[in-house]
């Protein structure tokens, strides 16, 4: 056993050693294997990692957007909404955890980061834009492309509370998205996985050439990665 494997922990090593880590699986089989290895005392998150055949250094090949997971995420999302007036009231009624205008901007500027997602009305973006250093590195800056800059923040709150998630390629063309919890049944995870792949296929840049789905793997929080056969990535 290698030192790298040893450092992962006993449960991880036992799981990784009980199947062929070099074998590529159909998505449905990968989901089954990941659930089998999710044995932690907490409800592990199931995440998919996909490397796309794009060049994110080119602006027209950045793959970014949102997808509604039909089975939800299994995670409670704390949402901050930068809004004033009727839009702020509606956002509160829709379930936003933090709502405010200049005062909320000041709190975040002062170090308050007790939220997982930020939404802003277009009118507040000049103020929110000043929070680039705080929100940018955490991937929290509101953006029209992901529906987080909107004149209807209440609707956006409902969407994200109901299972909508963001995705974006990193500098190497990788996308990481949590598609649910290990407690979900296989059909629920398969539905979420299928929704993500369908959305990514639609979002393929016209300028991207060659194989679009290069690599893919599924894993739980404490479990090993299970490789997915990208030639059948949309077959469930």
| Domain layout of the chain by residue ranges | 20-73+164-232, 79-161
Fold of 20-73+164-232: Ribulose 1,5 Bisphosphate Carboxylase/Oxygenase (3.30.190)
DSSP secondary structure, 60-126, as one string: GG--EEEEE-TT--SS---EEEE--HHHHHHHHHHT-SEEESHHHHHHHHTT----SEEEE-GGGHH
**Quick check: do 20-73+164-232 and 79-161 share a fold?**
no
Secondary-structure class of domain 79-161 per CATH: alpha beta
Spatial separation of the C-alpha atoms in residues 190 and 12, rounded to whole Å: 23
9 falls in which pLDDT band (50, 70, 90)? Answer: low
22 falls in which pLDDT band (50, 70, 90)? Answer: confident
What pLDDT score does 4 carry? 36
pLDDT per position as a tens digit, 114-137: 999 999 999 999 999 999 999 999
6 falls in which pLDDT band (50, 70, 90)? Answer: very low
Is the model's pLDDT at 156 over the cut of 80? Answer: yes
What pLDDT score does 107 carry? 97
Query: Residue 225 gets which letter from DSSP?
Result: P
- Please name the residue that has the structure tokens 């089989």: 29
What pLDDT score does 8 carry? 55
pLDDT per position as a tens digit, 197-221: 999 999 999 999 999 999 999 999 9
Helices 186-202 and 27-37, interaxial angle, to 10°?
130
Closest CA to 156 of 96, 236, 234: 96
25 falls in which pLDDT band (50, 70, 90)? Answer: very high
Is the model's pLDDT at 165 over the cut of 80? Answer: yes
pLDDT per position as a tens digit, 64-85: 999 999 999 998 999 999 999 9
The bridge status of strand 174-181 relative to strand 164-168 is: unpaired
Contact 73, 182 (CB under 8 A): no
Contact 61, 54 (CB under 8 A): yes
What pLDDT score does 13 carry? 57
Q: What distances in angstroms separate CA 122 from CA 88, 106, 152, one per listed residue?
A: 13, 18, 10
Spatial separation of the C-alpha atoms in residues 118 and 33, rounded to whole Å: 34
């Amino acid at each position: 056993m290698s030192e790298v494997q040893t450092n992962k922990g006993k449960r991880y090593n036992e799981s990784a050693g009980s199947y062929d880590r070099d074998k590529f699986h159909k998505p449905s089989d990968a989901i089954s294997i990941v659930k089998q290895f999710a044995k932690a005392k907490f409800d592990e998150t199931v995440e998919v990692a996909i490397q796309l055949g794009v060049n994110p250094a080119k602006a027209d090949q950045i793959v970014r957007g949102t997808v509604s997971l039909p089975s939800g995420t299994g995670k409670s999302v704390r949402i901050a909404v930068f809004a004033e007036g009727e839009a702020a009231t509606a956002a509160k009624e829709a379930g936003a955890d933090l709502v405010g205008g200049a005062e909320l901007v000041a709190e975040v500027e002062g170090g308050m980061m007790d939220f997982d997602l930020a939404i802003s009305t277009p009118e507040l973006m000049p103020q929110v834009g000043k929070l680039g250093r705080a929100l940018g590195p955490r991937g929290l800056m509101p953006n029209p492309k992901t529906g987080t800059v909107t004149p209807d923040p209440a609707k956006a709150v409902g969407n994200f509370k109901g299972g909508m998630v963001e995705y974006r390629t990193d500098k190497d063309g990788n996308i990481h998205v949590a598609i649910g919890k290990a407690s979900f049944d296989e059909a629920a995870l398969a539905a979420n996985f299928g929704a993500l792949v369908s959305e990514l296929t639609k979002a393929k840049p016209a300028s991207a050439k060659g194989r679009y789905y290069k690599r893919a793997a599924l894993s739980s929080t404490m479990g090993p990665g299970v490789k997915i056969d990208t030639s059948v990535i949309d077959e469930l």
